[in-house]
Amino acid sequence: MANMSSQFRNLIAWQKGVDLAVRTYRVCESLPPYERFGLAQQMRRASVSVPSNVAEGCGRGTLPDYRRFLLQARGSVYELETQIEIAKRIGFINETDALGLTSDATDVARLINGIIRELNARR
């Protein structure tokens, strides 16, 4: 596990998580200015939390910690998916952006789930 701490950048889940955060920030730029400290901020925080937790879990050095942080990352993905749906229903983001973000989030969740399954198999 010790060598994992420097390897998080090689994880596709982390790479796609960073891409998801960047895309979320870009989509949030189109939200109304009064939402800068509301839904947009929550979406940005949730999206940044995904790759951050993947990286932090790698750096913790134990499988239980790694698993726990991956579960937190996955929870942030689901949180973001909920916020995307709310933003879409309110009319803050268009269908194309919502579908793109949701698709990216689903991919990241799938990758995180794969790592969690692998770790669970090591028990």
Q: pLDDT digit string (tens) for 20-29? A: 999 999 999 9
pLDDT, mean of residues 49-62:
94
Structure tokens at 16: 């796609």
- Whether the pLDDT of residue 123 is over 90: the answer is no
pTM, entire model:
0.92
So what's the pLDDT on residue 51? 98
So what's the pLDDT on residue 96? 97
CA–CA separation, 55 vs 3, rounded Å?
Answer: 13
Domain boundaries, the chain: 2-121
Residue partners of 95: CB distance under 8 A and separation at least 6? 88
CATH number for the domain running over 2-121: 1.20.1440.60
So what's the pLDDT on residue 44? 98
- Whether the pLDDT of residue 5 is over 60: the answer is no
What is the rounded average pLDDT for all residues in the chain? 93
